[in-house]
Structure 1
Amino acid sequence: MKTLLSIGHGFSARALVPQLDGFRVIGTTRTEEKAAALRGEGLEAVVWPGTDLSPLILGATHILSSVAPGDGDPVLDAYADTLRHAPAQWVGYLSTTGVYGDRGGDWVDESSALKPATKRGRARVRAEGAWAELGLPLHIFRLAGIYGPGRGPFVKVRAGTARRIIKPGQVFSRIHVEDIAQVLAASIARPDPDACERSAIYNVCDDDPAPPQEVIAHAANLLDLPVPEAVRIEDAEMTPMARSFYAESKKVRNDRIKRDLGVVLKYPDYRAGLADLLVREGAAH
């Protein structure tokens, strides 16, 4: 039986599961409460750290890691030696477009040099390199800003806490979680035959990089609520994490997922994605 071991089974990985047919899926999570929730979705779930994953790694046909690095990669710190002997036919690693750093609003693709501007981006570059050294059939997915059901601008717009932070020339790329899922499923169905020799790398983003204030304004218009006031970035109170996102401005090309994996995006821009969320969240209310 095909078995997917999903390490750090979070938002993106949970969206993948309905796309898989005939798979046994084992997800790891950090607490027993979250493990119970995953079991309620029909998955096998284990708590990690806390459970020895070695037998699962050696028994999996497919492995996906969604675990973010710190000073090192937690999965590799614990299981690099085991992974070197893993028989998996497909290994996926969820990274970030932050590895490209700031390009002043210019375009990047998978061949662009890695110039991370943040500590998180530098950690991702190191993690990508460490995974690549294991000799596995590695597929790296560099994700843009993720949104989807329960993760979008509508809650803040409704609550009156959304802000349109203005930094001239700032653009972000985004991706609906269901499009992440279909990219992963397409890659699992069509693994790169040369991935052991050189990692297969895919940018995962939509077709329309856009200024963040446009997205907030569009969300407000969809809700028929006032468009939040514009705030200059110099005057905005922001967490260090939020401010770090504004340290980078780039447009990310996604041609490879279309050409190599045959993906047709369900939500090719934020307008389509927000329209979908509005229907879902309206139904939920």
Structure 2
Amino acid sequence: MPNASVLIVGCGDVGSRLATQLLKDDWKVYGLRRSIDQLPEGVNGVAADLFKDPCPAQWPTGQIDYVVYSVAATEHDEAGYQAAYVDALKRTLGWLKQHNQHPKHLLFVSSSGVYVQQAGEWVDETSPAEATNYSGRIMLDAEQIALNSGIPASVVRLTGIYGPGREWLLGQVRKGYRVAVEPPLYGNRIHADDAGGLLAYLLEAHQHGKTLEDCYIGVDDAPAPLSEVVNWLREQLGVTEWSEEASVRRAGSKRCSNARAKALGWEPRYPSYREGYAAILAGQPGKAH
């Protein structure tokens, strides 16, 4: 008998890493996405377009113990966010109700973009989340739908996800990316493996009888000024030239805390950008690391 069953709605990069970890621990895993041929081996595919399809024919017929909602917007505008995080979530909750399924817990994967602090403040789950731009505002709306769904739920606010295939910053550094040094622009990140690992840890903690809080921030141990990260990557990559373009001034500067997740017992595999990017570079033949 499997430990438990889970439906991962939006089983993409992070969802697939979560699925792989749970399969190792003998969970029964269902993965919902458009192209189920891209799911990890061992995942039961549920083919569906959340934005327009009726309830998929492959919808699990038995009891679903847990649901992880980890959908990504396909269109990065207000309508795209509304469709992915609000409308499709409501559709998923409707399908659960239609099948008389009552999960023990729902994890809604959100974003630290709901925080608007800009002066390097430390942010935790109790800090004001007062986003006014459409992406943060819609994400806050979706969080409330999850928390008020009638299913016990937790929101997991992931910070900047990086990892294999998520290498935007590496590409920018190779081009001579410039960032402001003063005041420091703090950034927050989590390796994709740790993002999936945190979700798995929360599910397994609940399965073993621990009570989950209604919100967790997914971030590594060491928020750092972007200039520090860029300089370190320049050294690793052997980049000596700077771009001709003016320094890039990124909006926002905050330091997110993972103290609540760590108090539950979770530890990131990659505690800072150094370990995470070193692992990425080690996997790239011919690159200094």
TM over 0.5: yes
Aligned partner (choices 213, 217, 221) of residue 203 of structure 1: 217
Mapped to 2, the partners of 1:28 and 1:107 lie a distance apart of 36
1:196-249 Cα distance to aligned partner (Å, 9 max, x none): xxx621111012212223322222211222254473346xxxxxxxxxxx3322
User: Contact between 1:117 and 1:247, CA under 8 Å: does it hold in 2?
Assistant: no
Mapped to 1, the partners of 2:211 and 2:46 lie a distance apart of 32
Shift in alpha-carbon separation, 1:43–1:220, aligned structure 2, 3 A? same
Range 99-108 or range 209-218, more displaced: 209-218
Shift in alpha-carbon separation, 1:163–1:57, aligned structure 2, 3 A? farther
Q: How big is the shift at 1:68?
A: 4.2
Alignment of 1:245-284 (within 5 A): 246-260=250-264, 262-282=265-285
User: Contact between 1:57 and 1:82, CA under 8 Å: does it hold in 2?
Assistant: no
Q: How big is the shift at 1:102?
A: 2.5
Aligned residues, how many? 264
Shift in alpha-carbon separation, 1:213–1:79, aligned structure 2, 3 A? same
Q: Which residue of 2 aligns with 1:13?
A: 15
Shift in alpha-carbon separation, 1:272–1:132, aligned structure 2, 3 A? same
Alpha-carbon RMSD = 2.7
3-state SS of 1:165 partner: coil
3-state SS of 1:101 partner: coil
Aligned partner (choices 81, 102, 107) of residue 87 of structure 1: 102
The runs of at least 4 consecutive aligned structure 1 residues that moved more than 6 Å come to: none
Given residue 37 of structure 2, which amino acid in structure 1 is its aligned partner? A
Mapped to 2, the partners of 1:19 and 1:216 lie a distance apart of 31
Mapped to 2, the partners of 1:278 and 1:250 lie a distance apart of 27
Mapped to 2, the partners of 1:209 and 1:124 lie a distance apart of 22
* Consecutive unaligned residues in structure 2, runs of 5 or more: 74-80
User: Contact between 2:185 and 2:227, CA under 8 Å: does it hold in 1?
Assistant: no
User: Contact between 2:154 and 2:214, CA under 8 Å: does it hold in 1?
Assistant: yes
Q: Which residue of 2 aligns with 1:27?
A: 31
Mapped to 1, the partners of 2:185 and 2:31 lie a distance apart of 37
Range 249-258 or range 21-30, more displaced: 21-30
User: Contact between 2:178 and 2:248, CA under 8 Å: does it hold in 1?
Assistant: no
Mapped to 2, the partners of 1:101 and 1:56 lie a distance apart of 39
Q: Which residue of 1 aligns with 2:78?
A: none
3-state SS of 1:207 partner: coil
Q: Which residue of 1 aligns with 2:47?
A: 47
Q: Which residue of 1 aligns with 2:191?
A: 176
User: Contact between 1:29 and 1:35, CA under 8 Å: does it hold in 2?
Assistant: yes
Shift in alpha-carbon separation, 1:142–1:57, aligned structure 2, 3 A? farther
User: Contact between 1:90 and 1:137, CA under 8 Å: does it hold in 2?
Assistant: yes
Given residue 107 of structure 1, which amino acid in structure 2 is its aligned partner? W
Mapped to 2, the partners of 1:102 and 1:87 lie a distance apart of 37
* Consecutive unaligned residues in structure 1, runs of 5 or more: 235-245
Q: Which residue of 2 aligns with 1:140?
A: 155
Q: How big is the shift at 1:250?
A: 0.9
TM-score, normalised to structure 1, is: 0.82
1:41-97 Cα distance to aligned partner (Å, 9 max, x none): 332223322351494386321111112462251323323344455321221110011
1:123-173 Cα distance to aligned partner (Å, 9 max, x none): 111100111111212121110000011212334444x3x522327332111
Shift in alpha-carbon separation, 1:81–1:17, aligned structure 2, 3 A? closer
Given residue 36 of structure 1, which amino acid in structure 2 is its aligned partner? D
User: Contact between 1:101 and 1:118, CA under 8 Å: does it hold in 2?
Assistant: no
Mapped to 1, the partners of 2:62 and 2:193 lie a distance apart of 29
Mapped to 2, the partners of 1:276 and 1:203 lie a distance apart of 23
Mapped to 1, the partners of 2:205 and 2:136 lie a distance apart of 28
Given residue 210 of structure 1, which amino acid in structure 2 is its aligned partner? A
3-state SS of 2:125 partner: coil
Mapped to 1, the partners of 2:67 and 2:61 lie a distance apart of 7
Aligned partner (choices 66, 81, 91) of residue 78 of structure 1: 91
